[in-house]
Amino acid sequence: MTRAWNFSAGPAALPEAVLRRAQQELLEWNGSGASVMELSHRGKRFMALAADAEARLRRLLDVPDGYTVLFLQGGATQHFAQIPMNLAGPEDHADYIVTGHWGEKAVREAAPYLDARVAATSVDTDYLRLPPRDAWVLSPGAAYVHYTPNETIHGVAFRDIPDVGDVPLVADMSSNILSEPIDVSRFGLIYAGAQKNIGPSGLVVMIMRDDLLARAGRPMANIFRYAEHAANDSMLNTPNTWGWYLAGLTFEWLEGQGGLAAMGQTNARKAGTLYGAIDGSGGFYRSPVDVPARSRMNVPFTLHDPALDAAFLAESEDAGFLALKGHKAVGGMRASLYNAVPLDAVNELVKFMRDFATRHG
Amino acid sequence: MTRAWNFSAGPAALPEAVLRRAQQELLEWNGSGASVMELSHRGKRFMALAADAEARLRRLLDVPDGYTVLFLQGGATQHFAQIPMNLAGPEDHADYIVTGHWGEKAVREAAPYLDARVAATSVDTDYLRLPPRDAWVLSPGAAYVHYTPNETIHGVAFRDIPDVGDVPLVADMSSNILSEPIDVSRFGLIYAGAQKNIGPSGLVVMIMRDDLLARAGRPMANIFRYAEHAANDSMLNTPNTWGWYLAGLTFEWLEGQGGLAAMGQTNARKAGTLYGAIDGSGGFYRSPVDVPARSRMNVPFTLHDPALDAAFLAESEDAGFLALKGHKAVGGMRASLYNAVPLDAVNELVKFMRDFATRHG
């Protein structure tokens, strides 16, 4: 068995220790006589697993009292729609800060449910910069302000949480949740598809201030109501039990790594190493993103000569690096450096990049 | 490691051969250098897996041309809502045949989206019988007729596909899909949560006649549109890749077992063995369900003296049988006999039941 250095943007690398544990327990989990996938979500054993995972997540993120944690399905995309359905009536409006592909999509999926206003966008910079805070045009009476702290495709990220006054701040943290400590109390709602920093795809984790659960929304099926999911401990329908289980193992692994403060330091070091190699390559490699807006999770970069792209991809794959091809919207290369990507992987990548530059320089 | 005989109603037993294969490949799948969970759904390897799983499902069910197969999320419950959203406008009506808990829920979740009419119900029999076909009151102009061929909790099932004329027949087959051959051409739409006969929870398989994809529905987010999912090969958002993978392995296993004709024979034999033991117990065990309506997948039964229930559960667990407790809505016991439950499990259960009756008779 050979595991590659996996820089996939998502579904992405999982901690190897988590995979080994899951492998060991796959046919018989926790003395239950069955795989964790083969057990009722309403049984004692799975209920304990579910509560334990939630408790670990709360500890990791230091979630204050007055917030509900949900384990849902549908990916972030479904919640682009479900959030306005729940947090606003059809006559309401909300402000969206658009800094890349996912912010655009959030607006598009919200539009059937309320007046989704683009309060700021950096589309005019091809999403290579962040729109300056003083240029945002927030609307009085907005139901919430939505933003994407880290844009996976464009590789731009907010280092600081924007101040939007008393309006609930809603954040799609799919690609940066758990990558460093955050102040949850600054947010009304945080949500994240699991497949980058939490676990396998098909699971969404949501952290929601309780007063937002009480918003009336509009007539809709119960299955779309966050308040119903909350009242049923995320078991309004059968949850993704395997995803929940792996999320719990990942949270446990993160605690073992020293929690989010330690992860934040490691992630800063990983990103610093890669950006350093790009910036120090004498122009062979380039990061197109404005320096203060550079993501620590997703690092797009280009080669000075696009004719070398195919060779870079082929040689990197032969050398044991996975998924370095950039998203088609941006081109070039992209290395995603989520929690489960070790510093060693980045050091090896940087070594390969230097070597490639020497051979093709 | 000891695996119990698992009679869980869902999430339910998976074929042991499938679990062993998944265990073996967990850290490195198919020469990819990563777990199948760690790979992009848009990569060549996963796309091939996805297409292969769909092809196997089509072969198993002999799906005719003109039907689309989708791999979705949200459980059957979400699709209780999404089906009326897609197949009907707000002014339309649809007919529901209610033969148990899940049929009731399907009506409830559909109600915000159209006039969901109960065309037939067996609630007056506590869902122990099926409403006779000649008593159904179907409405002219219905957008579709919805029914639940197998009710997991109440253990009642239709042996034959009801004739509803030209109106599209929509079936929630969560608990009986792939348990025997069916004539897909009789249906407008078939859907099933995976966690009984297909794979782990968090995946929904849908088979939909193409003309229904063209129905306008109503204004809604793209993520809720089946036509958009179809146009994007079920990759409109990141699918549950692990669920899709395990579904494919299960389909492959089913082919190896001889396909659905063979499964249907085995399932008839399993159910016959258990009902035979119940009926032949001289009244110690009882099946409350009307004989022609008895499910082959979910067998609720009671003990003649409910004071023995606790002893039955405790002793059966000690003897290596899992999840025999009946649903709280029905009480007593329930043995679910999905595809992955071998005939041996049923034979062992019947032996235990006879022995228990002798000791407590």
- The angle, 0 to 180 degrees and rounded to 10, between the axes of the packed helices A241-256 and A44-61 is 40
Which is nearest to A146 in space by CA: A109, A198, A194? Answer: A109
pLDDT at B12: 98
Q: Is B196 a catalytic residue?
A: yes
**Max CA pair span of chain B:** 63
Half-sphere exposure of A114 (CA within 13 A, CB side): 29
pLDDT at A206 (0 to 100): 98
Asked whether residue B325 carries a pLDDT value surpassing 80, the answer given is yes
Q: Which of B343, B333, B342 is closest to B298 using CA atoms?
A: B333
The answer to whether A5 is a known catalytic residue is no
Residue tagged active-site, from B102, B233, B244, B270: B102
- Inter-residue contact B272 to B266 (CB < 8 Å): no
Model confidence band, residue B51 (pLDDT cutoffs 50, 70, 90): very high
- Band (B91; pLDDT cuts 50, 70, 90): very high
Choosing from B92, B95, B172, B233, which is the catalytic residue? B172
Please determine, for the modelled complex, whether the ipTM score is greater than 0.85. yes
> Which among B194, B208, B211, B231 has a CA at the least distance from the CA of B82?
B208
Angle at B136 between CA B135 and CA B142, to 5 degrees: 160
A30: annotated binding-site residue?
no
With CB atoms and an 8 Å threshold, state whether A2 touches B236. no
Cα A34 from chain centroid (whole Å): 31
- Residues of chain A found within 8 Å of residue B40, distances taken between Cβ atoms: 8-11, 323
A213 token code pair: 């659960």
Judge whether residue B81 has pLDDT over 80: yes
Q: Which residue of A has its CA nearest to B4?
A: A33
Residue B1 pLDDT > 80: no
Please state, in angstroms and rounded to a whole number, the distance separating the CA atoms of residues B101 and B81: 16
d(CA A125, CA A144): 25
d(CA A75, nearest CA chain B) in Å: 7
pLDDT at A1: 60
User: Of A29, A172, A253, A325, which residue is the catalytic one?
Assistant: A172
Neighbour-count burial for A38-61, b at 16+ CB within 10 Å, e otherwise: bbbbebeebeebbeebbebbbebb
Task: Say if residues B74 and A76 touch (Cβ distance below 8 Å).
Answer: no
Question: Which phi-psi region, left, alpha or beta, contains residue B275 (left: φ > 0; alpha: ψ -120 to 50)?
Answer: alpha
Separation CA B336–CA B327 (nearest Å): 11
Task: For residue B320, count other CB atoms closer than 10 A to its CB.
Answer: 15
Q: Does domain A17-256 have CATH number 3.40.640.10?
A: yes
The C-alpha of A90 sits at a distance from chain B's nearest C-alpha, in angstroms, of 12
CB-nearest partner of B78 from A4, A219, A223? A223
Angle, in degrees to the nearest 10, between helices B44-61 and B241-256 = 40
Reading the block at residue A159, the tokens are 């280092």
Q: Which of residues 138-167 of B touch A (CB under 8 A)?
A: none
The candidate with the shortest Cα–Cα distance to B8, out of B337, B347, B305, is: B337
Between CA B11 and CA B324 the distance in angstroms is 14
Q: How far apart are alpha carbons A148 and A170 in whole angstroms?
A: 9
d(C-alpha A353, C-alpha A281), whole Å: 9
pLDDT of residue A2: 86
Residues of chain B neighbouring A112 (CB-CB closer than 8 A): 219-221
Q: What was the pLDDT predicted at B361?
A: 84
- B75 within 8 A of A238, measured Cβ to Cβ: yes
List % helix, strand, coil for chain A (3-state, nearest 5): 40, 15, 45
Residue A298 CB partners (closer than 8 Å, separation 6+): A9, A150, A151, A152, A153, A155, A175, A334, A335, A336, A337
Residue B2 confidence (pLDDT) = 86
**Which CATH fold topology does A259-360 show?**
Aspartate Aminotransferase, domain 1 (3.90.1150)
Chain centroid to Cα A78, Å, comes to: 15
Q: What is the pLDDT of residues B273-314, one digit of tens each?
A: 999 999 999 999 999 999 999 999 999 999 999 999 999 999
- Which sequence spans correspond to the domains of chain B? 16-256, 259-360
| pLDDT tops 70 at residue B203 | yes
Reported as a single tens digit per residue, the pLDDT across B147-172 is 999 999 999 999 999 999 999 999 99
The answer to whether A339 and A175 are in contact (CB under 8 A) is no
pLDDT tens track for B54-63: 999 999 999 9
Nearest CA to B196 among B5, B9, B4? B9
Q: What's the 3-state SS for A262-305?
A: HHHHHHHHHHHHHHHHHHCCCCCEECCCCHHHECCCEEEEEECC
* Options A196, A244, A270, A325, the catalytic residue: A196
Q: Does the bond joining A288 to the residue before it have cis omega, within 30 degrees of 0? A: no
The CB density around residue B305, as the number of other CB atoms within 10 Å, is 10
Helical spans, DSSP H, in A62-112: 75-87, 101-110
What are the tokens at B292? 């022609």
Residues of chain A short of pLDDT 70, as ranges, are: 1
**What is the separation, in whole angstroms, between the first and last Cα of chain B?**
34
Give residues 42 to 101 of B whose Cβ lies within 8 Å of A. Answer: 43, 73-78, 80-81
| Residues within 8 A of B (CB atoms), A 179-238 only | 193, 195, 200-203, 219-224, 236-238
Write out the two tokens for B180.
């025997």
The answer to whether A62 and A184 are in contact (CB under 8 A) is yes
pLDDT, tens only, B222-241: 999 999 999 999 999 999 99
What mean pLDDT is reported for chain B? 97
Please indicate whether, in this complex, the C-beta atoms of A33 and B4 are within 8 angstroms of each other.
yes
The partner residue sitting opposite A240, judged by closest CB among B201, B237, B323, is B201
d(CA A37, CA A28): 10
Per the annotation, the verdict on B29 as an active-site residue is no
- What does CATH list as the number for B16-256? 3.40.640.10
